[in-house]
Chain A
Amino acid sequence: MKKIWVIARKDVREAFRSRGTYLYIVILIVLSLTYSSSYNSLMNNLIRQNVSQQVIYETSRVFLNSLAYTLPLIYAFLVAGIFAAYSVVMDKIRRNLESLMATPLSLKQIWIGKTLGVTLPSVVVAIGISIVAYIVMNFVLIIPRTGSFILVEPAAIVTVLILVPLLIFSVSLLVIYLQLVISNPRIANLAFTGIFLLFFFGSTFLTQMGYEVPFYYIYLGLIVICAGVSYLIAGSLTRERVLLSSKT
């Protein structure tokens, strides 16, 4: 376990020493503003319809709750894509992975270490930005309209603190595996996009079909699928396979 942390810590350190990481975080913060404009247009519509203060409060609460469930996950997916690029893609391009595999580390230690190196900073950055975005939205948009600070529901907090990290970890396991074994590790990053789109369109489809599936069930389902697939493919990971796929 100690050696897994050594790998993860190094990857996190290396990623945070790159300016690209900070630039990306700034982009994510700017992206948060788009949610503010969605909220504004929603409120303007309600005000035009002369709805009661109670409806405005309830709509704001639902809006913030759905953001609380999804925003950290969306950000975590986006940040994980960046950290995954440092974790394995650069290692493969520079052929550092070969040296790492020639040490007494097992391939599973490398795999899990690299996955943690992607998961931890992604989750911390995503939750951090989400909390800031949540507070700023409350003070700038919600309080002037509702007169009170709206807290998210406890289930959302639990989901963000437990299920989102687990989901990012299990998806990263798959992505890192793909990065390790395929010749063009950049393509593996598409798995992040693929799973994200699956989540997005899947939940939209379920809603349109009239099913009210709570977010935490969707997250749990994805965690089980990704972890299960990772478990099944773990046996096919060999040093030789990783090495030969590095010949780009």
Chain B
Amino acid sequence: MSEVITLDRVSKTLGSREILKNVSFSVQSGDIFGYLGPNGAGKTTTIRILLGLMAPTSGRATVLGVDAQSEKARQKVGFVLETDGLYDNLSAFDNLMYYTRIYGLQDSTERIKWVIALVGLEDRIQDKVGSYSKGMRQRLALARALVHDPAVLILDEPTAGVDPTGQIEIRQIMLDRVHREGRTILLSSHNLDEVQRICNRIALIHRGEIRLFGDLESLQREMSRGEVVIETVEPVPGDILAELGRIPEVKIQNQHNRTLTLNMNRNADVSGVIAFLTARNVRIEQVKRQEASLEEIYTRIMKEAEQK
């Protein structure tokens, strides 16, 4: 996989404020990359640098191997920013026509109609954008991001203000772009559930520094607390539980009816516990090693960062 977006020790200072401090990460081709962090952490500044709106004080940012400050890089990027950038006095069609001309597209009518249908606004295509709801505007902003068929999408809170059905549809559009068309997405969001659902890799920024970066599944495994949930056909008898509790690497957390929760070292072998229980005629239905949720990871990293 090739690197589509790279930030190499990027710092940004505005006045006396250091907004980004040696930020480095990369986004691979085909990634849906979640960029997380609290308000004021530096997410928007990073996005602005990637879109060439701001120049880094030091370090280098590239998009598709080209300096992010260049017009060539901007030609290949579609974006949704905090503010939608749409013109109220123009219709949805005219808004998109304006941008297709800026991107130098010829005969774009069919492309505009297709992309507007994709975001579910075909019935309102000729209405002035000033009459649109916040959710509709976000959909249209996404349509604008897609209209010139960019290789990379940089999306800042694309589902903000969108109703739940709309959020699902937008998520599906993002997944389709990546899986069917091989595009790459950098998604900045406060919606951890959304990021967990669609992103394969993440970076977490706090006060201008990257605190966590990597493959989401691996991070979830690495940061799990070693919780193992065993579902049995019958509740495990008390004497077997007491015996199980004497195994050094096993801590019994609780048992609710037929669900037994154990705390084990992340690297401990669960098969030993399964063998122990089956040897004592405990019939097991399911064994699950609980991975840390993104919310847990986020909270933990933020807490650690605050304590530093």
Chain A interface (Cβ < 8 Å from any Cβ of B): 2-3, 6-7, 10, 13-14, 17-18, 94-96, 98-106, 238-240, 243-244
Contacts and interface: CB of A to CB of B under 8 A. Distances in A.
Given A6-B98, A17-B89, A104-B71, A99 B81 contact: yes
B53 A3 contact: no
A243 B285 CA distance: 59
B114 interface: no
Contact of B53 (A6, A7, A18, A102): A102
A104 B99 CA distance: 10
A99 B75 CA distance: 13
Interface of B: 14, 48, 51-55, 71-72, 74-75, 77, 79, 81-90, 94, 98-99, 101-104
Contacts, number: 76
B30 to A, nearest CB: 23
A98 B84 CA distance: 9
B54 A103 contact: no
B54 A240 contact: yes
Identify whether the interface residues of B are mostly helix, strand, loop, or mixed: loop
A102 B74 contact: yes
A243 B90 CA distance: 23
A95 B84 CA distance: 8
Main secondary structure of the interface of A (DSSP, over half): helix
A102 B81 contact: yes
Contact of A3 (B79, B84, B90, B102): B102
Most buried by B among A3, A13, A102, A105: A102
Contact of B54 (A95, A106, A239): A239
Contacts of B98: 6, 10
Given A14-B90, A104-B71, A98 B55 contact: no
A98 B81 contact: yes
A228 to B, nearest CB: 27
Nearest to B154: A102
A83 to B, nearest CB: 13
Nearest to A103: B102
A98 B101 contact: no
A240 to B, nearest CB: 5
Given A10-B90, A243-B48, 9 more contacts: A6-B98, A17-B89, A94-B85, A101-B52, A102-B52, A103-B102, A104-B72, A104-B75, A240-B55
